[in-house]
Chains A and B, each alone.
Chain A
Amino acid sequence: NAGVTQTPKFQVLKTGQSMTLQCAQDMNHNSMYWYRQDPGMGLRLIYYSASEGTTDKGEVPNGYNVSRLNKREFSLRLESAAPSQTSVYFCASSDRYEQYFGPGTRLTVT
């Protein structure tokens, strides 16, 4: 039982490049989330998916897109990376109220 897995662990992009962050959970949870964590700012919600086939914007969605591929997988795409998107990205899933987080992806945009 791996819980929530994320790939890659680290990534360096140049401004304007695109990439997709992958997230998968094996707990059969309905809800999945993408957060970014910046120093002194806590965790901010980018997008979430309450169930397979649905996605909704969170607090900071600009510059990102998401896909809930199936119940297990929820990906986050940066179409044209900007230095302001340098951050640590966490995926999480939940069934009732407790959220389970993945190990994170540390992204640097130069």
Chain B
Amino acid sequence: GQQVMQIPQYQHVQEGEDFTTYCNSSTTLSNIQWYKQRPGGHPVFLIQLVKSGEVKKQKRLTFQFGEAKKNSSLHITATQTTDVGTYFCAGSRGNEKLTFGTGTRLTIIP
């Protein structure tokens, strides 16, 4: 079945540094979504990408979908303490249900 891997599993950064998490699928995806889960909380939808090579920005967050639609990345510029949490990608093919990645847990060192 479809597998979605994320790296790194953990990332510790100094406040103000940049952060990137990468998502790789074993198969070509129709779309990819990103979610954020704060410690002790539930996943919250951030964005969906559907086009090959698509780039979307939300303030300090930049999301990319690869040309082959098999990988994606989330980049956070100048991290803040509010960015703490686990970031998940989730992909689907056609009418199949979402497959979530393993997540990247971001810790900020003040």
Which A residues have a C-beta under 8 Å from some C-beta of B? 33, 35, 40-45, 48, 58-59, 90, 92, 97-104
Contacts and interface: CB of A to CB of B under 8 A. Distances in A.
A40 B9 contact: yes
A43 B45 contact: no
Contacts, number: 46
23 contacts: A35-B100, A40-B9, A42-B88, A42-B101, A42-B102, A43-B43, A43-B90, A43-B100, A45-B98, A58-B97, A59-B1, A59-B99, A90-B43, A97-B33, A97-B48, A98-B48, A99-B45, A99-B98, A101-B42, A101-B43, A101-B44, A102-B42, A103-B41
Interface in B78-110: 88, 90, 97-103
Interface residues of B, number: 22
A42 B103 contact: yes
Contact of B45 (A41, A45, A90, A98): A98
A44 B100 contact: yes
Secondary structure of the A contact surface, majority rule: strand
B33 A41 contact: no
B27 interface: no
B52 interface: no
A42 B100 contact: yes
B31 interface: yes
Contacts of A59: 1, 99
A104 B35 CA distance: 15
B31 A97 contact: yes
A14 to B, nearest CB: 26
Nearest to A92: B43
